[in-house]
Each structure stands twice: as structure tokens, then as C-alpha cells.
Structure 1
Amino acid sequence: MQDFQFKQFVVRQRLAAMKVGTDGTLLGAWANFSGQTILDVGSGTGLVALMLAQRFAAAQIDAIEINLQAAEEAEKNFAASPWAHRLALHAQSLQRYHSDQGYDLIVSNPPFYPEAQFSKALDQDRRQARSSLSLSFEALLANSLRLLAPSGQLAIILPTAQALYLNELAQQAGLFLYRRCDFISRLGKAPKRLLLQWGQMPIEKPQQQEIIMRQGPPDYAYADSYRLLLKDFLTIF
């Protein structure tokens, strides 16, 4: 698949190792934001940044992508979108990235697969896009804290086990869980992904949410919670 058509923009993905997927669309539609500045870490094709630009008309959004081919493609996607003037792509790692401003929101669909799980047949770009060695959870947290504004928040999506582990690390780093969403691919199954959002000030109780993608038999139709979340983006709704 070369291009992915959303309702208000197109994602070109001919060169990117990781194509448009459910994780990115969930994060782009779910992450909460109050402020002016957003940083998208590991932007890939630019999908999450584009979705946030559509949702938040006043947001200035920087995106970081270490893979040069993906960065080139994201830059083209930004330029072709209605929000090109509010989107900027930086082809570098999070660890080397510096900004004069603190961000009100940092979002990331981070790599999580250990390198040992990959077949040697996988190309280098795809391994880099999916390997946690390119951006460890510890590095993600430390550099996010470095770049966040005092009231800024961090939002991620990960498989359940990795998300729970990252939540432990986040709390050890001094972050507080503000929001949690359990994503269930089909009614009756265990959560496949968790979306988590942390802040830097204590709160009494985090918000809890559940999104189900598909109902059960006989037709496995899309569930209302999934439709509601993505109705402004996916052309199937």
C-alpha cells in the first residue's frame, strides 16, 4: 500500500519501514492536549502529528524521526497537508534533540520489540523502527522530562505488558498517571494495547477508559467506542 487516505489528509508511505497501523491512529485520536506545543517522538510517516494537527487548530507541532527515509516521507506528508505551517520535521534522535521551549504534550508510539526477536531477514530500517534498542524506555522518559514544560504531559501506546512496565518506570521517574485506556481488539478478549498519559503533578485518581474495536459474532462489527474515537479520521466511518 503506497498511500493511506484519511478524511482530511493523505499519508504517503512508500519509503517508511512501518506503515499506517492501528496503534498510531489510536494514539493520534486519543492523546489529550491543553496548550500550544506538541512533540511527536518517532514520527514515522507523520501520522500522529497530522492527526493532532487536525484535532488542535492552534497547536504548533514538532516531529522527530531518526530514519532518514521515513523523515523524508513525513516531511512530504506535512507539506501536502492543510496544516503545513504548523508542522515541522526534525531528522534526528530524541537523545540529540534540543528545543528552546518546553512542550505541553509529548506523544510517542515507541519501539518495543527486543532485537533478539527479529529474524535476520528483516531489513535494517524495519528493525530500527521496531527495536527498543533505538530508543529505550529509560531514554524516552529521561528525554521527555528534559523537554516537557512544567505542566506538560507524556502520552504513549504500547502492548499491555510493555505499557505496564513503562508505567512503573514513569512513576519511579516522578511522573503521575493521568489517563489510561485499555484497547480491546474484539469483545471478550484481553486488552491488546494500553494508552497511557502522565503528568508531572499529583492527581487524586487517573481517568479510566476502555475502547473495543470489534463486537463478537456473528458479524464482528466495529464497536461504537472505536467508531466514536476515529469517526473524524477514517473514511470507513
Structure 2
Amino acid sequence: MTKPFVFKDFMVHQDRCAMKIGTDGVLLGAWVPINDAVTSILDIGTGTGIIALMAAQRSHAEVIDAIEIDADAYEQAVENFEASPWGDRLFCYHASFQEFVIEIDDQYDLLISNPPFYAEDYKTSDSKRDMARFEDALPFEHLVIGGSKLLSNKGLFAMIIPYKEETRVIDIAAQVSLFPQKITRVKGTPTSEIKRSLLLFGRDQINFEANELVIETKRHHYTDAYINLTKAFYLKM
């Protein structure tokens, strides 16, 4: 039995989710800019529901929707939503992103996704975990092109991806007239390689800000930047 993950303002049960809560989801949920103009948010591939819950804590958006394809994860996300202080604003759809894009006419002010992105050729014996982890469950092309259809005119689309895929994803986004508004590249320690890119896309072509975030100076010694980003959520920050 996997223990629930306890945050300052809510709790997340994750025993039925293939992908457990990790640094990527919390980073993205804390990093994404959310201002008062954002009235509707969509979390694509919600898993446990963590990013949607963080968005609910951080915003006054009346509509916070999520999509999850896996039946067990979907049920768990719904339960996590209902148990939270923001259950009246959170709603989860049980669908693939491709189905959702075709069937939904709504547009959102903010899209957020921590997509499955292991494109390597191996699979494990756990098909659910593979579904959550492997990019063939939701290729970047589907994510970006579908996302452009769901985005309101002034809307923004935030995602976290492997750093090595950054240029490719920016190129895909440009094909549907989405352009970087902000990029933060994430390193585990000051001397380690860049592992992740936090990307924010919008419809305006601008000179965007790019920076770096280092998580730890050494094991379990977190940087001030990381603490400041996540302290509203983690109990021990």
C-alpha cells in the first residue's frame, strides 16, 4: 500500500496510479504563471491530480478540468479532487487527449501538462507504468497541436519535457503558431547536466525570458530558488 502524499493544503492518494508524484509534476505546478485573468485551466494527463490540485490552491479559476486515460488513475484523481478543499472547481474527464480535443468545444486560458515522455525502445513488464511513461501514449505532436485548438486567444500552455527534446517541441509549436513566452531549464545540482525544460507557450512572438533552476546543492540540501518555488506545497520547505 503506497502512503498518501501529504502537502500543506491537501493530500494525494496514489496507490492506484502507475506514475507516482515526482519532482517534475510539483515543479511544473509551482512554476507555471497563473494570474487573476485565468478563469479556466486544463491539466492534460492528470495522473494523481497533483497539478490540477496545485492550480486550484494557487488560483481563483472557476473551471479546473483534468483529463486522464487510465481508468484507475482517473478514479483516484476524482477521489483526490473530491477530498480537497476545492472539489467544487475540479472536474476530471476519463478520455484520451485525442478524443477530448475532437469532442470538446471549450477553450481554456491555461493548459498544463507533465506528459509521458520516455521515447526509448524498451518496455517494462508493467504495462500501466509503460502507458504513463512512454511517449507513444501521447506524442508531443498530438499534445502541442491538440493544445493549440483548446487554447483561448490569450491563453498559455505550460509543460515539462526532457531538455534534449526542447528544440523539437519548440519547432512543433511554431507550426501551430505557438511561441515560447518563458523557459526554465532544470538541473539536479550545480554541476549536473540540464535534465528538464519547463516551457511556457503562447500566441505572441516575444523576446522571452530563459533561466536555469538548480534543485539541490547536495543531497537533500535544496537551493533557495527551489525552496521559494515549492514552499507553499511541501510540508518540510
Report the alpha carbon displacement of residue 79 of structure 1 after superposing the two structures with TM. Answer: 0.2
Residue 77 (structure 1) aligned to one of 70, 73, 80: 80
* Secondary structure class of the residue paired with 2:99: coil
- Equivalent residue for 2:61? 58
Structure 2 counterpart SS, 1:192: strand
Alignment of 1:152-167 (within 5 A): 152-167=155-170
Question: Where do 1:8-47 residues align within 5 Å?
Answer: 8-33=9-34, 34-47=37-50
Partner of 2:79, secondary structure, is helix
Contact 2:47/2:68, CA 8 A, preserved across alignment: yes
Cα distance, 1:236 vs. partner?
Answer: 1.2
1:166-177 equivalences in 2 (<5 Å): 166-177=169-180
The match for 1:211 is 213
Contact 2:39 2:60 in 1 (8 A): no
Other-structure match for 1:189: 192
Contact persistence 1:112–1:162 (CA under 8 A): no
Consecutive unaligned residues in structure 2, runs of 5 or more: none
Structure 1: how far apart are the matches of 2:123 and 2:109? 35
Q: 1:118 aligns with which of 97, 119, 123?
A: 123
TM-aligned CA deviation for residue 115 of structure 1: 5.9
TM-score by length of 1: 0.94
Is the Cα–Cα contact under 8 Å of residues 115 and 127 in structure 1 kept in the other structure?
A: no
Q: Distance in 2 between matches of 1:38 and 1:59?
A: 9
- Matched to 2:227, the amino acid is R
Task: Report the 3-state secondary structure (helix = DSSP H, G, I; strand = E; otherwise coil) of the residue aligned with 1:71.
Answer: helix
Q: Give the aligned partner of residue 8 of structure 2.
A: 7
The CA RMSD over aligned residues, in Å, is 1.4
Distance in 2, Cα, partners of 1:82 & 1:69: 22
In the aligned structure 2, how far is the partner of 1:149 from the partner of 1:49? 18
The DSSP-based 3-state class of the residue aligned with 2:98 is coil
Structure 1 residues 144 and 83, CA, compared in 2 at 3 Å: closer, same or farther? same
* Gap regions ≥5 residues in structure 1: none
| Percent sequence identity over aligned pairs | 40
**Residues of 1 paired with 2:62 and 2:201: CA distance?**
19
The number of residues matched between the two structures is 232
Query: Is 2:226 the partner of 1:226?
Result: yes
Q: 2: distance between equivalents of 1:124 and 1:118?
A: 8
